[in-house]
Amino acid sequence: MTKHKPIRKAVFPVAGLGTRFLPATKAIPKEMLPIVDRPLIQYAVDEAREAGIEQMIFVTGRGKTSIVEHFDIAYELEHTMSERGKDLSVLDSSRFTPGDVLTVRQQVPMGLGHAIWCARAIVGDEPFAIFLPDELMVAHTTDSGAGTGCMKQMVEAYEQTGGNLISVLEVPQDEVSSYGVIDPGAEDGALTEVKGLVEKPPVAEAPSNKIISGRYILQPEVMRVLEDQGKGAGGEIQLTDAMARMIGTQPFHAVTFDGRRYDCGSKTGFVEATMALALEREDMGADVRTIMQQLLGQGIQS
């Protein structure tokens, strides 16, 4: 048995306007746009469930009700499908026990740190996970099938270390200035001690090539840090600033994710994720590959 409190709750900040995907996101939340046949938010929620997380907390804004409805029972749809002999198992991952999906409003867009702080009453005095759904994390496949998801890898590390953890990925050194990176300490396999966090450093000054990706396990004390934290970069309350203040007072580690990351906050990243996941599907991968080869052979240009 681990001596650390289990990670039972996860916070999903989903209040953003999704302006980079307009006009598609004028009436549909960005998180509900599909990667093949599942909304983007579903991938993050499935990852949380795989890691043993029981309670999903969505920090929402106006126009985001369809996210919650997606995880509700659709009685008319299910009844009609059942009468027609359709397979209802395709809906299994979008069903939740009442009380396991909770929402809180972020009334003013004041940054990621503020969004997390909005969930303080529901998080309470427990450690919790954070998922940024824009970052689609896909485990490497193994001989026996799908590999271990990012958050499950982090929870397994947390059971050893306790404290706070962030997910990182290694990128080429010349790309580090586009990301937040860690100042690394001692390393033990995929686990790295975090001595500091640096946001978008110049290439020559970057302390490592390990970039922060959108998964976190944090102790509840971060809420008290966010409570009295002033605005940082962009005039917003930054989660990175709060985490940096906690380094040295609690254990802080990074887990290098054994898998792939797709930046679905950008249109090119969204298309890349769609193509990559479609190619891996047994029911359509071969057809999609043929279509791509045909398009490339026809010299389709931008």
Question: How do beta strands 259-263 and 252-256 pair?
Answer: unpaired
CATH architecture, domain defined by 9-265: Alpha-Beta Complex (3.90)
Q: 11 exposed, middle or buried (CB, 10 Å; 0-12, 13-18, 19+)?
A: buried
Query: Rg (Cα) of the chain, in Å, rounded?
Result: 20
Q: Is residue 235 scored above 90 in pLDDT?
A: no
* DSSP state letter for 71: T
Alpha-carbon gap, residue 140 to 149, rounded angstroms: 9
Q: Is residue 230 scored above 80 in pLDDT?
A: no
181 strand-pairing partners: 198, 211
**How many other C-beta atoms can be found within 10 angstroms of the C-beta atom of residue 70?**
19
200: alpha, beta or left? (left if phi > 0; alpha if psi -120 to 50): left
Structure tokens that stand for 80 in this block: 């009609």
Question: How do beta strands 34-35 and 259-263 pair?
Answer: unpaired
If one compares 63 and 40, the residue with the highest pLDDT of the two is 40
Q: Is residue 2 scored above 60 in pLDDT?
A: no
Structure tokens that stand for 188 in this block: 């033990």
120: alpha, beta or left? (left if phi > 0; alpha if psi -120 to 50): alpha
Alpha-carbon gap, residue 52 to 9, rounded angstroms: 9
| The pLDDT value given to residue 1 | 45
Q: Helix (H) and strand (E) counts for the chain?
A: 10, 13
Domain edges within the chain? 9-265, 266-302
What's the mean pLDDT in 162-187? 90
Which candidate, 130, 128, 7, 6, places its Cα nearest to that of 59?
130
Q: Is residue 232 scored above 80 in pLDDT?
A: no
**What is the model's pTM?**
0.91
3-state secondary structure of 280: helix
Per residue in 128-171, pLDDT (tens digit) is 999 999 999 999 876 666 688 999 999 999 999 999 999 999 98
- Please give the single-letter amino acid code of residue 78: E
Alpha-carbon gap, residue 41 to 176, rounded angstroms: 27
| The pLDDT value given to residue 195 | 93
- Comparing 26-30, 48-52, 68-72, 134-138, the range with the smallest average pLDDT is 68-72
CB 20 within 8 A of CB 266: yes
CB 56 within 8 A of CB 10: yes
What's the mean pLDDT in 180-201? 89
- Mean of the per-residue pLDDT values for the chain? 89
Structure tokens that stand for 118 in this block: 């909005």
pLDDT-based confidence at 293, cuts 50/70/90?
Answer: very high
Q: Is residue 231 scored above 70 in pLDDT?
A: no
- Please give the single-letter amino acid code of residue 83: E
Please state the φ and ψ torsions of residue 192, each to the nearest 5 degrees.
-130, 130
Per residue in 54-106, pLDDT (tens digit) is 999 999 988 888 998 888 888 788 888 888 888 877 777 777 777 788 999 98
